[in-house]
Structure 1
Amino acid sequence: MRLFSALLLGVLLSLPALAAEELHWKDLVPPEARDLLGMPQPVHDLSLLADALEDSEYGDPAVQSMPNAPVVAELDGRKIRLPGYVVPLGINERSEVDEFLLVPYFGACIHVPPPPSNQIVHVRSRQGIALADLYQPFWITGTMQVEAIESELANAGYRIEQAEVEAYSF
């Protein structure tokens, strides 16, 4: 019985090490750079884009303001869990999105200015996401790599390969 108890205790103590660390988007920005972030406000009303082009202190709302924003090197190799929205980059043979940019707010990189690169994660997922589900947020779990990735839509400061995807629940 003692051997069983010792084994059970060992398994229970190792579970937190296997669990992913839940991150928030601010955790992807080095503390000393948080004041520099200066992320433009999302423009969700497309009729306002012309006004935004003329009036914005950030310039063209379709252009990423900080494509090489500072990243948190200590996140490299850590298993993390991060909520966000999907911006599709690749669709598999089943018409599911399996490569995408994970962003902190809906419409980033498509309808509104891309956030700084340290607020974008390039993801390749284990399972695809149905096109009809792209309007909802997701939890993405996997091993974070600190690596600059360029795409047609925006640069990302991080990447996750073989990510697990699950619908975000409130």
Structure 2
Amino acid sequence: MKSTLKIVLTFVLCTGLGIWLSRLAIDNWPTVKQAFVSKQHLYYTSDAALESEFNQATPIDLNWAQLMPEEDHQVIARYQQNSEPQNLEQMTAKVMRSINAAKDQQYQGALISTNTTAKFADKMVNISGFIVPIDFYEDQSVQSFFFVPYFGACIHLPAPPPNQMIFVQLERGFKDLDITNTYTLTGKLQIELFEDLMGTSAYTLELVSIVPFYGKSNDFRSHNIN
């Protein structure tokens, strides 16, 4: 009897553990895939000097919050929250924050801030986000684009602050673009202002490569600028 009970308990425990591990794997599969799947280069530079510089460097993994000075980040965090209101009280608080934000000149200034962080200037970096094309070559490959932290920026939603946008120029050949997909760019980050009708960026990137990003957007976004 004891032996049978032990077998039953072992079976139940193993089944429960298997279900838990399966759910954990499903919930975190994008992140797991991002870490282990071999990434296909959708674009790679033909600039020998830039490639040589890249090969001698260890790229820094950046998130978007690191490109925003702390003082700007604190001002924006005062009014913007990632979570959606769950009840009337939270909805009322959100409306009041919006009213106060509209009157706060410091906050309005942070939304168009060109203030940058010099720590990563002229460094090889990896950063993930969304591509907003600006110009195309005659063969319809992308000639230049803004790189941004959330989908719809500059198109369906207002442009992020300039210190949350990166301007990128590239050679002919990059046609495999889906603006709803996320990508990881590798290249040399520079502090340089670029202005266009679609928006203004405070950074540029000398692009080495583009690869798909398989993780969740929250893996590279530490705040919500919209």
**TM-score with structure 2 length normalisation?**
0.54
* Change in CA separation of 1:74 and 1:26 when aligned onto 2, cut-off 3 Å: same
Aligned: 1:93 with 2:152: no
Structure 1 residue 158: Cα displacement:
0.3
CA distance in 2, matches of 1:58, 1:168: 35
CA distance in 1, matches of 2:177, 2:62: 26
1:123 aligned partner: 168
Structure whose alpha-carbon radius of gyration is higher: 2
Structure 1 residue 131: Cα displacement:
6.2
User: Could you list the runs of 5+ residues in structure 2 that have no partner in the other structure?
Assistant: 1-53, 83-97, 104-108, 216-226
Q: Structure 1, residues 112-139: CA drift from partner, whole Å, max 9, x if none? A: 0111111000011346432652221111
CA distance in 1, matches of 2:136, 2:81: 29
2:188 aligned partner: 143
CA distance in 2, matches of 1:82, 1:128: 21
Higher relative contact order (CA 8 A, sep 6+): 2
Root-mean-square deviation (Å)? 3.1
1:31 aligned partner: 70
1:164 aligned partner: 209
Structure having the higher helix fraction is: 2
Number of aligned residue pairs: 142
Structure having the higher strand fraction is: 1
- Contact 2:75 2:110 (C-alpha < 8 Å) held by counterparts: no
Structure 1 residue 31: Cα displacement:
2.1
Indicate the SS of the match to 2:66. helix
Higher mean Cα deviation, 64-73 or 96-105?
64-73
- Contact 1:125 1:164 (C-alpha < 8 Å) held by counterparts: no
1:69 aligned partner: 114
- Contact 2:134 2:145 (C-alpha < 8 Å) held by counterparts: yes
Structure 1 residue 68: Cα displacement:
3.2
- 1:84 counterpart letter in structure 2: G
* Change in CA separation of 1:92 and 1:26 when aligned onto 2, cut-off 3 Å: same
1:45 aligned partner: none
User: Could you list the runs of 5+ residues in structure 1 that have no partner in the other structure?
Assistant: 1-14, 43-54
Structure 1 residue 69: Cα displacement:
3.2
- Contact 2:185 2:207 (C-alpha < 8 Å) held by counterparts: no
* Change in CA separation of 1:40 and 1:127 when aligned onto 2, cut-off 3 Å: farther
- 2:66 counterpart letter in structure 1: D
* Change in CA separation of 1:99 and 1:40 when aligned onto 2, cut-off 3 Å: farther
Q: Identity of aligned pairs, percent? A: 26
Structure 1 residue 34: Cα displacement:
1.2
